[in-house]
Structure 1
Amino acid sequence: MSNVDGLRQQYADDRHLRVRQEIHEQYSIPNVDFAAWVLERGGLVGQKRVLDVGSGSGSYYRVIQKHYPSIEYIATDFFYGVLARNEAQNYRVVCDAQQLPFADASVDVVMANHMLFHVQDIEQAIVEFKRVLNPDGVLLTATNSIQTMPEFQALFRRALLLLSTHVRPNSPYLLPPHEPFTLENGVRRLARHFFAVVRHDLPSALVFPEVDPVMAYLQSLRSIRESMLPPDITWDALMEAMYDQVNRVITLQGELVINKLSGVLIASDAGGFISDYCAHMQRS
């Protein structure tokens, strides 16, 4: 299965995404509404038109409807199945982030949350985001740190090294799926296109007292991660090794703690967090 085929299967509907969202809601400490947290830092007050690229089933739309009801919200996604679950009935567009069907300087805010690491040409997508933004528009790109969930990464690494003859300590098989666009390398990518970029972090943890929700979380990622496995490892063999490790940890320690580091990168040429500075420089 290719990566594109895996994504198509992953987002044929919102079933797998919902599994992870519900696990985050139930087992996260502290329990923070991540979408609301992102939008609070994005400064949506006073904005008129928001384009949500890779909107999925609409977790950000629900927050916007509640806290910013006057905003015109437009949802887009590459995959119709998951987009069909978005409640923004009159403003849904199936399209490619690398070729947006919107006019130049036509929106105030572009959101591209937890999706840029799936895009084939990330630089082209960022160029498109900037094209459709007003000159003082703002881009919000929530993503994960390369260091997020180190406990999962350690368990994956150990299982892969035990099961495969193709894996070496620096093997690409060990990279997490979000590696192409993280909180760390995303700053550099955005800074090539925007005058200013700011990073906000939200550390938290998943605390699992039992094995089943851990395995449900991992199984929900199958269509994304299976294509990244070495040729001599099956998904079922990997999950068997992961189950054994997770079960041992919980049996010995009473719980499995998975530390998380996610956040949002905000970029603009003259608006949002940088607007006061730009206004001051113009007066000087």
Structure 2
Amino acid sequence: MTVRMLVDGRPGDTVSAQDRGLSYGDGLFETVSVIGGRAPLWSRHMARLAEGGRRLAIPLPDSEVLAKEMRAVVGDMAAAVVRITVTRGVGPRGYAPPAVSMPARIVAAFPMPAPDPHLARDGVCLRVCSLRLSEQPALAGLKHLNRLEQVLARAEWVDPAIHEGLLLDVAGRVACATMANVFAVIGGIPVTPSLARCGVAGVARAEVLATIPAVQVRDLALEELLRADELFLTSSVRGILPVQAVGDRVFAPGPVARAMQRHWRGLGFPLELA
């Protein structure tokens, strides 16, 4: 795999062993799809990163600096996934943040995963994960560096026919998938789970909310989701994917998912990535 990486603006692939991102997961990251040198959802990524920096009190690099470094690592790659990581930087031992933070930034470009147009057409199969997301409103919605819940959830299956895992919170409410947000169409009305307690507020989710103002953001029980007319997932890398099945419950790609796929292509993402 070809990886192009800048650490604090310089070519390299190492950070200090005392970096708080490594020690405590004290930081944030964004995963940006870049197609033909463009990042169609860049402004949404920067808005989420800024919100994370504000809530965690981590000073952030200027977005123009990040954009310049993104272009540098992408180079002539036709399609890339760029991960931007910002940590609080090196600090003394202990949980107390340093009085003055010196954040570290890592900007790395990876080849875009090989697309599977069949998933965009026919949909993906989900399982309901056993792991339950813990509730922490102070971190809810943020894409912070601690992803252990997602790691454990993804370790629950190895069957290649299962494409994603549905995550519930400790009360059994639907939250999201391991790497995507979820939308259900119930009685003709799109619904997506509230992320006030846990989960990541994805930039593709934000695009859907801006495009379809009628979407309801609310608590969603698993039983209600399984009675939906259609389901689809949203991801900044994988795009808009209809859900074909959740366990034994079978769904068909529906008109809302198809409309959002057309919108996704209109943003500049090719069909096979939708």
TM-score over 0.5 (shorter chain): no
By percentage of residues, which structure has more helix? 1
More strand by share: 2
Structure number, greater radius of gyration: 1
Q: What is the TM-score of this pair, normalised by structure 2?
A: 0.25
